[in-house]
Amino acid sequence: MKKHNGKEYIENQKHDIAELLEIVAVLRSPEGCEWDRSQTFDSMKECLKNETQEVLTAIDNKDMDNLKEELGDVLLQVLLNSQIASEKGYFDFKDVVQTLCEKLIRRHPHVFGDVPRPTTPEESLALWKKVKQIEKERKGNKTN
């Protein structure tokens, strides 16, 4: 077993998101995989599209084992794109997580704020869309 940064990565042991981030970084490192290292945002677009379609197919087939695997493949696309962004100094996976958490809190004011709680899924979706529209308007005002 080859060590990377003094650590062995063994297939059939327990793993977590921190180790997954390490593995992706190793794959993109000079000691990593040539294919992973050669990827760019543009080259990853088709991969993300294909993996997303495979998730949809697994859902349509009600194949939970395959769904689990395909969701992992979509997560890999997110992690690889985040790693590429980190290498370029744009952002990293922690920034993606931070941005998502902020968005989820902001777009659920009925859960995390003091807005009255919708009583139906449709009302919840309408509230999500309303908050999203406000966000778009604010972004538009920042650029003017």
Model pLDDT, residue 47: 96
* Residue 113: other Cβ atoms inside 10 A: 9
Mind listing the pLDDT tens digit for each residue in 69-104?
999 999 999 999 999 999 999 999 999 999 999 999
Residue 15, helix vs strand vs coil: coil
The 10 Å CB-count burial string (b at 16+, else e) for 21-48 is: bbbbbbbbeeeeeeebeebeeeebeebb
Partnered with residue 8 across adjacent β-strands are 3
Give how far the C-alpha of residue 30 lies from the chain's centroid of Cα atoms, to the nearest Å. Answer: 24
Residue 144's pLDDT band (cuts 50, 70, 90):
very low
Residue 5's pLDDT band (cuts 50, 70, 90):
confident
Mind listing the pLDDT tens digit for each residue in 39-58?
999 999 999 999 999 999 99
Residue 2's pLDDT band (cuts 50, 70, 90):
confident
Residue 134 has pLDDT above 70, yes or no: yes
User: What Å distances lie between residue 67 and 14, 55, 71, 72, CA to CA?
Assistant: 20, 6, 6, 8
Model pLDDT, residue 1: 73
Residues 63/72, Cβ–Cβ less than 8 Å: no
Model pLDDT, residue 130: 94
Say which residue the tokens 């908050």 belong to: 131
CATH topology for 3-91 is Helix Hairpins (1.10.287)
Show the tokens assigned to 9: 């990565």
The CA distance from 81 to 93, in Å, is: 9
Model pLDDT, residue 142: 64
Can you give the residue ranges of every domain in the chain?
Answer: 3-91, 107-144
